[in-house]
Amino acid sequence: MSTQVLIYERAVPISAERHGNWSVTGSKGYSFARNINAVPLLASEFIPAAVDGTIVFAGQGDEVFPSLVLGVRDSNVMVDGEGSWKGAYVPAFLRRYPFIFSHDDAASTFTLCIDEEFEGINEAGRGERLFDSEGERTQYLSNMLKFVTDYQTMFERTKVFCKRLVDLGVLDSGVAQFNLPQGERASLGGLSTINRDKLKAIDADTLRTMFSTDELELCFVHLQSLNNLTSIAEKSVAAAAAQAPAQESKPAAKTSKKKT
């Protein structure tokens, strides 16, 4: 499953000295997420993400965190060939890209960074400028700073929710197996899901607390979203099948050109 920096290649602190002439364009959509099959998901995103996505939990112990499944193979069925998002909801983890916070544990500070390998970065003025002619943050950069700050706040709140689930012992780890219409079997490992029986066994006082904090609702949304997993698996197989003939036809085209 995914890690927090899976799409970031070279995140560097943003500064007017280094990035004064840089602009960011998202003209290629979500092409950068084409080859990942899951991304971290905040607790506040559960309801919209569960419309056609599946929410699971990845990691162990203090590292447990929700993930949105995007495919059962090394590809994202929510992104088409043009980079457009086909799903009902785009996770904030992807919407904040190429920006991210780096954390200095010693100083307990966060620094806004940008992935300098993002293909939408340019110095030709295409898209949104990071700094104006006087070296001050543009409104775009200020908005992204707020977005990443809000993301980090909700990230910490989501960790509290995950810690409760771990402490209560309601998560079961395992491998999801699928019987697909084509007769093929697919699997997805490295995930955990809430055990319904263990959830029902939680004491009344804890359930009351979880109800008041909306954590109980999150548990049921997660469980409901598991019904979407077979559909995602079928789309993954269909996408792989559609891609295979296209790849096989390329050598044939080249051969025919040489013969002409």
- Which residue, 148, 140, 130, is CA-closest to 93? 148
**Would residue 52 count as lying in a domain?**
yes
Query: Of all helices (H) and strands (E), which one includes residue 188?
Result: strand 185-194
Q: Is residue 251 part of a domain?
A: no
- Spatial distance between the Cα atoms of 64 and 168, rounded to a whole number of angstroms: 13
Beta strands 121-122; 23-24: pairing state? antiparallel
Can you give the pLDDT at residue 236? 79
Question: How does pLDDT run across 12-24, given as a tens digit for each residue?
Answer: 999 999 999 999 9
Domain that holds residue 103: 11-242
Q: What is the pLDDT of residue 50?
A: 97
The answer to whether residue 256 sits within a structural domain is: no
Is residue 166 in some structural domain? yes
In a domain, 258, yes or no: no
DSSP letters for 61-112: GGG-EEEEE--SSSS-TTB-TTS-B-SS---HHHHTTTEEEEEETTTTEEEE
How many structural domains compose the chain?
1
Q: What is the pLDDT of residues 241-250, one digit of tens each?
A: 666 555 455 5
Q: Does residue 76 sit within a domain? A: yes
CA-to-CA distance for 99 and 92, rounded, in angstroms?
11
Q: What is the pLDDT of residues 156-211, one digit of tens each?
A: 999 999 999 999 999 999 877 666 666 666 667 789 999 999 999 999 999 999 99
Residue 252 counted as domain residue? no
Residue 144 has pLDDT above 90, yes or no: yes
- The residue among 140, 119, 118, 120 whose CA lies nearest residue 129 is 140
In a domain, 155, yes or no: yes
